Chains A and B, each alone.
Chain A
Amino acid sequence: MSEPFEPKIVAFVCTYCTYAGADLAGTSRLKYPPNVRIVRLPCTGRISPMFILKAFQKGADGVLVSGCHPGDCHFDHGNYHARRRWTAFNALLHFTGVPEERVKFSWISAAEGIKFAELIDSITEEIRQAGPFEQYHKLIAETGSVASV
């Protein structure tokens, strides 16, 4: 019998807010699914759309990008720049047929451990329902490499 599908989700988070929020979720002993691989970056302004494509290239079923709420950026305006970038890139992904549930964006502050745990819970469930990102995995398989996230 094959194992039930467990989604692989990559989360690109900024160190000052969302990572601290994830940390808070941990220290508060909140339970959330272990499907998410967290990649910590200095700021959402550092998160290039290439990261999202790279995560999919390596076989991710979903990607989360998260950082400080507008106005809370440690570097004052990194997240405002990121927001514009996501708006354009999100539209592009939508237009090329990457389903909405595969890429999520959120603002999670250092105090929102509960929000972090709940969000991971809900996106994991959503992607579990949707199943593996077969259309992309087929493209990866053509290249002869295997999913390695």
Chain B
Amino acid sequence: MSIQQQYRSRAKELLQDGSVKMVIGYGEGTTATRRRPIFITNPDDTDRLVLDAACKTNLAGYLLREGLLADQKSVAIFLSPSGVRTINILASESQLSSAQVVVLGFQIQGDTVKALEGTKASDFSPLIAKRKEKRKAQPSHEMTRKLEQMTPAERFAFWEGEFSRCIKCYACRAACPMCWCRRCVVDNNQPQWVNTSSHTLGNLEWNLVRAFHLAGRCVECGNCSEACPVNIPLHLLNRRMTEEVLTAFDHYPGADEHQEPVLASFRKDDPETFIL
């Protein structure tokens, strides 16, 4: 039985025996390589589920749709390991109760999809711990290394060029499962922190704030870069932040649901190399 068939029948069982009220998964998209999120409540509709190497979007953000989890019923959701980390972070930030989330875990390796054992987010903790070690050993992105070698003025010019294309559509925010604030700082107008006109200045400010708010929370799922209509390499900023919290505070976002948010906790012996 193909993995897709296997997951379809698992989803069907879950809906039939009433253990979940909805399955959030992937369906056919508008082109052969696109997948779109589908929300299934009828067991007969589980044939529409697709699971292949094109299922890259992190669906976890859909769990935060207002009222979805308010009735204490469970929802099953297709998640890659970074998706499971998202659930852990959202739980640690009190945005959802992980007990209401049934994980249909999978992992994409090249062109193939591998099934992952486990149904609760906590079942994946050993896997995530392994990924932390892997992330620590992973060298910085090639472009990051190139940027680090530039002079500050050259780096500024690089980002100025990138951000000048930003149209402030906030697709990066909409696509990010971590951007759950009811009122985003950028929508604030008293005080107006971020310049809202479509000039590079405000674009720079917005992208800095976005990256900072994701420091220690981003699971590097890639939803933001994928959503950006003008292809700003947002992942470079996020990765840089991830590397910073990993080296400075040994923090790997979403390790488990009891992990303290990195910027809402501290250690007295945190490093401080730059403070005069």
Residues of A within 8 A of B (CB): 49-50, 53-54, 57, 70-71, 77, 80-81, 83-100, 104-107, 119, 135, 139-140, 142-143
Contact = CB atoms under 8 A, between A and B. Distances in A.
Nearest to B207: A96
A139 B200 contact: yes
A106 B146 CA distance: 30
Interface of B: 144, 147-148, 150, 152-160, 185, 191, 193-195, 197, 199-202, 204-205, 208-209, 211-212, 215-216, 237, 240-241, 244-245, 248-249, 262-268, 270-272, 274-276
Contact of A70 (B212, B268, B274): B268
Contact of B270 (A50, A57, A83, A94): A83
A97 B159 contact: yes
Nearest to A133: B156
A96 B208 contact: yes
A139 B274 contact: no
B275 A88 contact: no
B195 A143 contact: yes
A98 B270 contact: no
SS class of chain B's interface: helix, strand, loop or mixed? helix
B156 A97 contact: yes
A135 B274 contact: no
A110 to B, nearest CB: 17
Contacts of A77: 266
A106 B202 CA distance: 28
Nearest to A119: B276
Given A92-B241, A97-B158, 5 more contacts: A83-B266, A88-B241, A91-B244, A106-B276, A119-B276
B276 A104 contact: yes
Given A80-B268, A97-B155, A99-B152, A50 B193 contact: yes
A16 to B, nearest CB: 17
Contact of A53 (B160, B193, B272): B193
B156 A135 contact: yes
26 contacts: A49-B208, A54-B191, A57-B195, A80-B266, A81-B264, A83-B266, A83-B272, A87-B270, A87-B271, A88-B212, A88-B241, A92-B211, A92-B240, A97-B154, A97-B156, A97-B159, A98-B156, A105-B274, A105-B275, A105-B276, A106-B276, A135-B153, A139-B200, A143-B197, A143-B199, A143-B201
